Amino acid sequence: MCGIVGYTGTKDAFPILIKGLQRLEYRGYDSAGVALANDGLQLYKCKGKVVDLQNHIGNGTTHGNSGIGHTRWATHGEPNDVNAHPHFSMGGNIILIHNGIIENYDSVKKELVARGYIFKSDTDTEVLVNLIEEIQKSENCKLSEAVRKALNEVHGAYAIVVMSEDEPGVIVAARKSSPLVIGIGEDGDFFLASDATPIVEYTKNVVYLEDGEIAEIVPGQELKLFTEKKQKVTPYIQELELHLEELEKGGYDHFMLKEIYEQPRSVHDSMRGRLSVKRGLVHLGGMGDYEKKMLAADRIIFIACGTSWHAGLVGEYLIEDLARIPVEVEYASEFRYRNPIITERDVVIAISQSGETADTLAALELATRKGATILGICNVVGSSIARITDGGSYTHAGPEIGVASTKAFTSQVTVLSLLALMLGQAKGTIERSRFHRTLVDLSVIPEKIEAALQTDAIVKKIAAEFKDARNFLYLGRGYCFPLALEGALKLKEISYIHAEGYPAAEMKHGPIALIDEEMPVVVIATKGPSYEKVVSNIQEVKARKGVVIAVVSEGDEQVKEIADYTIEIPETEEMFAPLVASVPLQLLSYHIAVMRECNVDQPRNLAKSVTVE
Ligand code: F6R
């Protein structure tokens, strides 16, 4: 979704802003712009990518020691040059960038129009910048005060950054429900961004703005924070754990491929210090404190969206199997609007890579109001979900830049496996020998993922055969059913081929009608309790001339005889099959997308972090 960058200090702002916007490209956007303060405010913006913005600027003046930049993912108004941010106020002396939605923009706009304001764009953002100008004019106050008063008049979600021609070098920033990070440089300069990725190469000292906080940033001075009610806040400075090399492609053609290949390490990092085979122990720090609550809970409810929801489904199977606690898995966007029954005896766990997904955040707020204990499983350290939950665990997958989630999924499943084992051990629902065996099986998953990566060449060949298919079906049973959903999602989102995931046995209840020689069917047929049943499902597909691509356990002979293509991966305990079998599915969608010349890391219409509801 929209990305925000800002800089004020003694350096040349333009290269910092452009580089920052490039770092934020992974979030997904359709237009870009920058404004520089240099003897007045200089604005450049256009529809398209950052490179289009650079071309548009050409040899234009880009001097200035402070400025703001934006990548826009359209919500109000189509993506075009006029709707791109930053937006000037009508008088032309205030300029603003915004991530989020001003919900009452229509009524505010009507009032401003009645006072003579003329609007150039279709955006809610232009309404806010004019409101700030109107307040400043009528009250003759500082920019920060006008921003504060304006924010008291609007509702919705926002992160905003504002500059005024009358206060050179000063930046005012604020947030409510949309993230904003302020980096504090060594030379009294400041960096702002929607997440820490544009900041990390300049400073590790950051302040995450909290909801309802406003920052007045003046180079060379201490950072001033206050609330919308004008109360002073002492900035809480944190040290970033992010490393610059994690944000580079490191020799891979795409971030997605790099992230697929990082999984042996990222899954290992998700377990590090949390699992000891020698001591027969599993411990998840931030979750452990809520162990008793979870054991006594009526239900554990996972809330999530997209890939994280698929991880939640695996989590349901794991926890019900190993710890015998009832689990429900909810789409955050449905949960919050359907008046769900939640009590203080429920534990609600949000699963989110970004920790910023608007629907997931809103669902957590609802659960809090109903008295449930709320926990989080997030990847991004310091993210909103991580901060509003009572406790939780980070997945420690490292930054995920490719829009299609890969390593975040396997790390989420790893943390959920640890959680299920921890709860099962505490509750005594896993007998000792099974617990020990399972612990050993989980501990060697990174090596098995490494081996699964060796399927790359064969997967690439299969991709070449099917790159022009119009539809795909993905089938799996038990723990591999969520993986069928995830495999189909990966293909849809980056290659734009229609794909559906189904529980293999459900096929008979409808989707089997789709099967003919044109329909590739990916079946996850690894060894496990439902293996024979899956083999029967493959027979059913073959009997209708479907083309079967089967992911099987090493050495499998039975499926090899009937499937058209097989991809062998190391055998593993059924519950951990999603961790290993996800690798060839990720690679299949990756290669197909590359062969179709799709933008793998930034697929059309998609955003990495969905900060609007
Ligand atoms: C798919 C994908 C999305 C996200 C979803 C939730 O590859 O990345 O479906 O999983 O938008 O995002 P988070 O996990 O950040 O809450």
- For the stretch 162-211, pLDDT in tens is 999 999 999 999 999 888 999 999 989 999 999 999 999 999 999 999 99
Q: Which atom of ligand 1 is nearest to the CA of 306?
A: 9
CATH classification of 454-613, choosing from 3.30.2270.10, 3.40.50.170, 3.40.50.10490, 3.10.20.340? 3.40.50.10490
Which residue has the CA at smallest separation from atom 4 of ligand 1?
Answer: 306
Task: Give residue 121's pLDDT.
Answer: 92
What separation in Å is there between the alpha carbon of 404 and the centre of ligand 1? 8
Which residue has the CA at smallest separation from atom 11 of ligand 1?
Answer: 306
Contacts of 27 (CB under 8 A, 6+ apart): 1, 2, 3, 71, 73, 194, 195, 607, 608, 609
Domain over 3-245 is classified CATH 3.40.50.300: no
CATH fold match for the domains 248-443 and 454-613? yes
Q: Which atom of ligand 1 is nearest to the CA of 412?
A: 14
* More confident of the two residues 303 and 251: 303
Query: With 90 as the cut, is the pLDDT of residue 140 above it?
Result: yes
608 carries an active-site annotation:
yes
| DSSP codes of every residue in 553-564 | ETT--HHHHH-S
Task: Give residue 79's pLDDT.
Answer: 86
Task: Give residue 274's pLDDT.
Answer: 96
Contacts of 158 (CB under 8 A, 6+ apart): 98, 99, 100, 101, 102, 128, 151, 174, 175, 176, 177, 178
pLDDT in tens, 535-592: 999 999 999 999 999 999 999 999 999 999 999 999 999 999 999 999 999 999 999 9
Q: Is the CB of 400 under 6 A from ligand 1?
A: no
Q: What is the mean pLDDT of residues 108-135?
A: 95
Both tokens assigned to 113? 């129009």
Task: Give residue 420's pLDDT.
Answer: 97
Query: With 80 as the cut, is the pLDDT of residue 482 above it?
Result: yes
Q: What is the mean pLDDT of residues 477-500?
A: 97
2 carries an active-site annotation:
yes
* CATH, range 248-443: 3.40.50.10490
Using DSSP, state whether 483 is helix, strand or coil: helix
Contacts of 222 (CB under 8 A, 6+ apart): none
Share of the chain above pLDDT 70, in %: 100
Query: With 80 as the cut, is the pLDDT of residue 604 above it?
Result: yes
Task: Give residue 29's pLDDT.
Answer: 85
Between CA 421 and CA 383 the distance in angstroms is 26
Domain ranges of the chain: 3-245, 248-443, 454-613
Query: With 90 as the cut, is the pLDDT of residue 64 above it?
Result: yes
Query: With 80 as the cut, is the pLDDT of residue 611 above it?
Result: no
pLDDT bucket at 91, cuts 50 / 70 / 90? very high
Q: What is the mean pLDDT of residues 296-310?
A: 97
Report CA-CA distances (Å) from 232 to 213, 223, 228, 235, 467. Answer: 9, 11, 10, 9, 58
Q: What is the mean pLDDT of residues 396-405?
A: 94
Q: What is the mean pLDDT of residues 208-219?
A: 95
Q: Is the CB of 379 under 6 A from ligand 1?
A: no
pLDDT bucket at 297, cuts 50 / 70 / 90? very high
Task: Give residue 410's pLDDT.
Answer: 98
Between CA 550 and CA 561 the distance in angstroms is 11
Between CA 127 and CA 294 the distance in angstroms is 46
Query: With 80 as the cut, is the pLDDT of residue 76 above it?
Result: no
Are the C-beta atoms of 584 and 455 separated by less than 8 Å?
A: yes
